[in-house]
Every structure is written in C-alpha cells, then in structure tokens.
Amino acid sequence: MLPEMAQWTPTYQLKFEYESEPHVFCRTRIMRSLKDFKRTLQRQPDGAFHVLARAQALDIVLELRIGDAAEEQKFEDMWQRMLEEFEMLAER
C-alpha cells in the first residue's frame, strides 16, 4: 500500500438542489469523521433523516423525507456505506 493511502480519510458533503433547476440551496458541513457524520445525518425512528445543513452561513436542520421509493433506497444505501466507512476508520 502506498504510504499516502494509509493517511487517506474520506470527506463527504451533501448538496441539495431544487428538482426543477440545478441550483444548490444548501449543503451539509464537510464530514471527515464518525462524529461529524453522526452530527450531520441522523436517522429518525419514523424513517426520516434529520440533516444539519448550511444555508447562507447559518446551520439549519432539515427533515428529509423522500417520496420516491427508489430514490429513498439510493439515499439509505449511501447513508449506510458512509456510516460503515467512518465506523471502520474509527476502529483504527
């Protein structure tokens, strides 16, 4: 393994756009650790997600509910992959 690969840390930021136009109206803070991830994306018991986002220099909490089942599954899969990745890194 290359030495720089051992130092590599994933970095994620989610961006939210309006469906009708490609305008980003808010984005999450950059997530670099399990702590950042758990603070930014919280799954609720009813299946919704609370997302800590930045909009015009303010932190806001969005409740994310996805109406389309296929899109909801894609988001849940992404959330699970990110969670597993950060958990593995936290174990090191």
Q: What is the pLDDT of residues 33-68, one digit of tens each?
A: 999 999 999 999 998 999 999 878 888 999 999 889
- The SS3 of residue 85 is helix
What is the count of structural domains for the chain? 1
CA angle 38, 26, 90 (to 5 degrees): 20
**Residue written as token pair 């958990």:** 87
pLDDT tens digits for range 69-80: 999 999 999 999
pLDDT tens digits for range 19-41: 788 888 889 989 999 999 999 99
Q: Which domain holds residue 74?
A: 3-91
CA angle 62, 67, 71 (to 5 degrees): 90
Tokens of 88: 């593995």
* Helix ranges (DSSP H) in 9-68: 34-40
How many other C-beta atoms lie within 10 A of the C-beta of residue 17? Answer: 12
Residue 87 has pLDDT above 80, yes or no: yes
